Structure 1
Amino acid sequence: MFERLYLWTLSLASRRSAQVWLAVVAFIESSFFLIPADVLFVPMALAKPQRAYRLALIATVFSTLGGIAGYALGYYAFDALARPVLAFYGKLGAFEQLRACATPDMTLLLLTTSGLAHLPPIKVVTILAGAVHIGLGFFVLSCVIARGARFFALAFLLRRYGETIRHFIEKRLKLIALGGAALLILLYFGLKLLTGSGQFLSC
């Protein structure tokens, strides 16, 4: 199922309506769709590098709007809608553990790391943000910064290096982003311990 969905998403890049599909995938990725918008964004930016930053803007805006939709699911309709979505993807147990332990500031940190490197999956963290009732303004700001950083960094690399950078992006860039996200978490946790300003987890 995953492979078929991946190939279908990839095929959207060659359609005349590809920019519309990029907006759609970026939106639904943030609340329930399995395939990240990067799968569509990379071949589109390679095909028309002069439009890479425009595509990055589309992906950032609609990913943020989709994040707001996921936030609303967690805030207003967790039991009715969000719980079945998480259960379908096998993420409900991990989500419940995060919700039981997460402080609002840790949730904001997870929003940043998920936006940069899909760690944890974006849909899980956006729903979590709504479920623990973090401030909507901070939520939106974190989405814009983290997701914008990812898409615009990809746009810069694809415009500058073209097809030669594609293998690096597909195989190595995620590892670098994961390393950066892990470093961010460690720095945050270390500052919490040094300053004694609170606990990273509430349980």
Structure 2
Amino acid sequence: MTPAPAELPSWIRRMVGSGYLLPVLFCAALLEAIIIPIPLELMLIPLLLLEPRRRWLLASVALAGCLCGALLGYWFGNWLFDSLGQWLLEVLDATDAYDRFVQTLANEGFMAIVVVGVTPVPFQVAMLAAGAADYPLTSFMLAATLARGIRYFGLAVLVQLFGEQAMTLFRRHARPLGLTLLAMALLGYGLNWWLTG
């Protein structure tokens, strides 16, 4: 059973009333994009429940924080991959995912970044690979905006439609939904290759 707003963690309720909600959410999104392996959604959904009038603003702030983190991750990949980038991949246990994504990035580019941004694959992999491979920054940021916009604004829509049941729905269906989106993207790649090949 999803907690009612009154039963949500006290620190979330205190944050909503503190006046620091937007800066804290921005920083949390930035840190989640760079290194923290805890999904931002676990914080964002309760906030969306508690602040229905600012739902779209909260999603926008989360997106802005994530994009700043994505820019930093791209920079790490571009300039510091041999030292800090390799270390970050080891900390996240994402070295194999990185190697696979580099090949996908070389073949698929933009859509590969979008798919990683929407699915449960760590987004740090896409940031580091895009930077290390000198993938065009404008295209990378556009793909990151599209992917994370779908994710955060999609959560806002989910909360608007289902209210307190959104947390249960998210926990139950996040992985299958991500894998379904991944399968659809791969199907699209295959169809595109078949039609243009």
Q: Are the structure 2 counterparts of residues 189 and 124 from structure 1 closer, same or farther at C-alpha, using a change threshold of 3 Å?
A: same
Moved over 4 A (4+): none
C-alpha distance in 2 between matches for 1:67 and 1:192: 29
1:66-145 matches, cutoff 5 A: 66-99=69-102, 101-104=103-106, 106-118=108-120, 120-145=121-146
Identity of aligned residues (%): 26
Moved more, 74-83 or 102-111: 102-111
Contact 2:105 2:130 (C-alpha < 8 Å) held by counterparts:
no
Contact 1:29 1:123 (C-alpha < 8 Å) held by counterparts:
no
- Name 1:162's counterpart in structure 2: 163
Contact 2:45 2:166 (C-alpha < 8 Å) held by counterparts:
no
TM norm structure 2: 0.85
* 1:67-95 CA distance string (max 9 Å, x none): 11111111110012111011112112332
Contact 1:71 1:126 (C-alpha < 8 Å) held by counterparts:
yes
One-letter amino acid of the structure 2 residue matched with residue 111 of structure 1: I
- Name 1:149's counterpart in structure 2: 150
Contact 2:104 2:112 (C-alpha < 8 Å) held by counterparts:
no
- Name 1:188's counterpart in structure 2: 189
1:43-58 matches, cutoff 5 A: 43-58=46-61
- Name 2:45's counterpart in structure 1: 42
SS for the counterpart of 1:33 is coil
TM norm structure 1: 0.82
Q: Are the structure 2 counterparts of residues 96 and 104 from structure 1 closer, same or farther at C-alpha, using a change threshold of 3 Å?
A: closer
Unaligned stretches of 5+ residues in structure 1: 1-9, 197-203
Count, aligned residues: 185
Cα distance, 1:174 vs structure 2:
3.9
C-alpha distance in 1 between matches for 2:10 and 2:128: 28
Q: Are the structure 2 counterparts of residues 11 and 171 from structure 1 closer, same or farther at C-alpha, using a change threshold of 3 Å?
A: farther
C-alpha distance in 2 between matches for 1:21 and 1:194: 47
One-letter amino acid of the structure 2 residue matched with residue 93 of structure 1: D
Cα distance, 1:110 vs structure 2:
2.5
Contact 1:115 1:147 (C-alpha < 8 Å) held by counterparts:
yes
* 1:154-203 CA distance string (max 9 Å, x none): 1122123211332112211442232023211221133113312xxxxxxx
Contact 1:109 1:185 (C-alpha < 8 Å) held by counterparts:
no
Cα distance, 1:12 vs structure 2:
5.3
SS for the counterpart of 1:102 is helix
Moved more, 17-26 or 147-156: 17-26
SS for the counterpart of 2:73 is helix
Unaligned stretches of 5+ residues in structure 2: 1-8
Q: Are the structure 2 counterparts of residues 13 and 123 from structure 1 closer, same or farther at C-alpha, using a change threshold of 3 Å?
A: farther
